[in-house]
Structure 1
Amino acid sequence: MLLVRLLAAAKGDGTLNLVTVDGKRHRIGSGPPKLTLRLHDHAVVRDLLINPRLHFGEAYMDGRLSIEGGTIYDLLSMLMSGSEVQGALGRAVEALSPILRRAQQYNPMRRSRQNVEHHYNLSREFYELFLDRDMQYSCAYFSEPDMSLDDAQEAKKRHIAAKLLLVPGMRVLDIGCGWGGMALYLARHTGARVTGITLSSEQFEVAKQRAEAAGLSDRVTFELRDYREFAGTHPAAFDRIVSVGMFEHVGMPHYRNYFDAVRDMLNEEGVALIHSIGRLDGPASTNPWIRKYIFPGGYSPALSEVLPVIERCGLLATDLEILRMHYAETLHHWRARFKARREKAKALYDERFCRMWEFYLAGAELSFRLQGHMVFQIQLARSLSAVPLKRDYMLNAERELASTVTDLPGQTPFSVEATMP
């Protein structure tokens, strides 16, 4: 059976039972089976042979396959630790990858707004089910063992703020500001004046409400704007620019536009910090299931695709840090929290939606644990003199920020039980 051979090639350690719709059992591996994959209709076999990277997730969402003896995380862990397997369509797509990537990531302003709304305009109530109290929807920074998610997200904000060399009164732009947590943190703890821009109407409204609740509306403003539109009206307007978890949505054809915009909006002694998911193993293509259901137009780049563009647009890379397993740990926390409040998510949406998010969170975590994904932070400047000669200033700034009070108005209350990880 071709599907057995496909699964055998993908499978890492462990033994898997495959049960087809006619009740036939196929043991894949030599030891006692750890898991059973059960197929519930004949078409699943055909779909998996044609394009497993797309159709496996779809079949799980639709209940056309199920896992016995474990969870979708357990099964994906087994499959993703083996060889990457392509179906017939998948191989053809991969061969055309350099061409298709540019088409798939072509994100003019209108499409960018649509892509953002697809994912980030889900309700605030949904994201509150599994995010930290400040609603940070990006990689946390686990600077100490056994940190809680709230503490690790606070550490992330400190880590980024330290790299920005902020002093009171500086003008800061937050590109892709989310629900406003980073902008509010920078204004509250450094005295900066921050402008946040986003394409998500849902996030925009929440961010404005949070600024008002925190009493920071005089120092933090938010706009529903595309960075390309915004850049044209703000030449050299900012001392600092920060962008966290937004670059993944820019798209390769627009990297030059993006970094040109960053350069043009920075003043001569300005500093920028770009925080993004990336790839350790070189250029590739976005998983088709992720592209269709989670992040249309999205792509996590290799540094070899980013640094040449930075060089060509005249910015200087003044610091680069690779965060390897931090996002795996972040996703582990999100997955556990989502599981604990799954019934509330189902009440907001439906069972298929919950299965989609289970598949997404499990697959995303494993992509960092097993398949070469990472997070990079690039510090950029226009001038060689914009940052100190030594990196000591970062650690000193983090220590100073850690001593400040963080439980202040404007942070989103998060009521998950204290026993949650």
Structure 2
Amino acid sequence: MNILLKHVLERLVRVGSLKVTGPKGTTHKFGDGSGEPVHIHIKTMHAERAISFDPMLAVPEAYMDGELDVIEGGVLGLMRIAFQNMGSSGIDVTWSKAIEGLRHAFRRLQQVNTAARSRRNVQRHYDLSGELYKLFLDEDMQYSCAYFEQPDMTLDEAQLAKKRHIAAKLRLKAGQTVLDIGSGWGGLGLYLAKAFDVDVQGVTLSTEQHGVSTDRAHAMGLQDRVHFDIKDYRALNERFDRIVSVGMFEHVGVNHYRTFFDKAATLLKPDGVMLLHTIGRSGVPWATSAFIRKYIFPGGYVPALSEVMPAIEKSGLVVTDIEILRLHYADTLKHWGERFAANRDKAKAIYDERFCRMWEFYLAASEAAFRWQDLVIFQFQIAKKNDTLPTTRDYIAKCEKALELRDIGHREPAAPARAKPTRRKKVE
């Protein structure tokens, strides 16, 4: 192991049990020996040098390329040790800290998300094969944080609970119009239309998602109530009673927050309500993970609360409620990771081994960030006026309960056992 990497690991890993086998077969131990052990093998000198200077990018790249293997503890265990030691004394003197500081300083240059660039960024991720997403998402294809009302919920149950939670905060009434910004595979918009008899306009920049969601609307007989378009939200001019946006704000970019909320203000009717569900940071603003930005979500950014609130205030909108969902996304990602692992051979048949290793690292590292770093979910409830919604939160729970009873009642009953045909007596 080269001297620089050994020095970095000695200063960084104070807690935990990490073993690193280098390209020459020598193994070194780091940490205090506590917790679940993790053992990695750096196979090449190239990977060892790269990790020495930029571990946050070079480790996932080496893993993707097969130049690094996790022999014991898995990627999740490796990221646990990394994140749990980030606050240890000594990290400030590493090359990694300096590089991450530069990424933070230049983060605005990485997020000039014009309409054309936003479309390209979305295509990089969301226009992957729909068959890939079916391998690890729930039945309704919800590609965002689920809501685990009970810890023993299945993924499908928790995603349904998420839709109820969001719907309740929108305070919907029959006949209203709803805009879904970043409508994904259409599940939320279709749920709102069916549950509340509202008209939904969904917009996405993904050709793949648009095709799936449109087909689903026709299959459910809701094509007259739910419409999906390939369109940037900035190109819209209609006005809506309600706006909902789930998992899209992470792609807006800090440079465009004012534009986003100014546009929302013009799209909402005077008594309008908006529910924004987004990944956020409970800590201070920081740069997007270099690995995530380069390979998973180009142009993406996870904001701190202090970066979002000023843009809302300047738009003239009123924040009526903020909820912070902690650990719900960690549990969601755990389910996704387990499902992906169970279907890994199918994913490899769609893409290749390198893609599978990239996706494994993405899911595990994301789960770790929600468990041991500062990532959370923000749910902003926003209105045009401060008297549009009730002054207490009781209505949210009441609506969720009513929706739960409705969802149970609308589940397809089990097919009855087919009765055996009776033999007719032969007429003489």
What is the aligned partner in structure 1 of residue 162 from structure 2? 156
The answer to whether the 8 A contact 2:40-2:72 is kept is no
Any gaps of 5 or more consecutive residues in structure 1?
A: 411-421
The alpha carbon displacement at 1:46 in A equals: 1.2
With normalisation by structure 1, the TM-score equals: 0.93
Question: Is 2:44 the counterpart of 1:41?
Answer: yes
Tell me the equivalent position of 1:290: 292
Evaluate the alpha carbon distance shift between residue 87 and residue 153 of structure 1 in structure 2; reply closer, same or farther with a 3 A threshold: farther
Which structure 2 residues correspond to residues 172-183 of structure 1 after superposition, within 5 A? 172-183=178-189
Counterpart residue number, 1:55? 58
1:198 and 2:204 aligned: yes
Q: CA RMSD in A?
A: 1.9
Q: Deviation string for 1:30-86 (max 9, x for gaps)?
A: 549923211111111210121111111000000101121231222222222112658
Secondary structure of 1:177 counterpart: coil
In the alignment, is residue 147 of structure 1 matched against residue 153 of structure 2?
Answer: yes
The DSSP-based 3-state class of the residue aligned with 1:403 is helix
Alignment-mate amino acid for residue 303 of structure 1: L
Q: 2:404 aligns with which of 402, 405, 415?
A: 402
The 5 A counterparts of 1:263-282 are: 263-282=265-284
CA distance in 1, matches of 2:366, 2:125: 15
Q: Does the aligned pair in 2 maintain the 1:61–1:356 contact within 8 Å? A: yes
Closer, same or farther: CA 95–144 of 1 in aligned 2, 3 Å = closer
Q: Which residue of 324, 327, 342 corresponds with 2:326? A: 324
The answer for the alignment partner of 1:72 in structure 2 is: 75
TM-score, normalisation: structure 2: 0.91
**Percent of aligned positions that are identical:** 50
The alignment status of 1:138 with 2:144, answered yes or no, reads yes
Shift of residue 122 of structure 1?
0.7
Contact 1:319–1:378 under 8 Å retained in 2: yes
Name the SS for the 1:174 alignment partner: strand
Q: Does 1:170 align with 2:173?
A: no
Structure 2 SS opposite 1:163: helix
Give the deviation of 1:9 after TM superposition. Answer: 3.3
Query: In 2, Cα distance between the equivalents of 1:178 and 1:154?
Result: 15
Counterpart in the other structure of 1:352: 354
CA apart distance, 1:406: 6.2
Letter in 2 for 1:127: Y
What is the alpha-carbon distance in structure 1 between the residues aligned to residue 248 and residue 409 of structure 2? 26
1:10, 1:80 within 8 Å by CA — same for their partners in 2? Answer: no
- Please give the per-residue CA displacement for 1:208-257, whole angstroms capped at 9, x wherever unaligned: 00000011001000000001112xx22xx100000000000000110011
Distance 1:97 1:346 in 2: 32
Taking the aligned partners of 2:177 and 2:378, their CA distance within structure 1 comes to 24
Quote how far apart the aligned CAs of 1:184 are: 0.2
Q: Distance in 1 between matches of 2:340 and 2:181?
A: 27
Aligned to 1:216, the other structure's residue is in SS state coil
Change in CA separation of 1:79 and 1:94 when aligned onto 2, cut-off 3 Å: closer
Q: Match of 1:208? A: 214
Tell me, in whole angstroms, the C-alpha distance in 2 between the residues paired with 1:30 and 1:241: 51
Larger C-alpha radius of gyration, 1 or 2?
2
Q: Distance in 1 between matches of 2:23 and 2:259?
A: 51
Q: Which amino acid aligns with 1:14?
A: G
Shift of 1:6: 1.7
Q: Residues of 1 paired with 2:342 and 2:269: CA distance?
A: 47
Gaps of 5+ in 2: 413-428
Report which stretch shifted further, 291-300 or 15-24. Answer: 15-24
The alignment status of 1:221 with 2:227, answered yes or no, reads yes
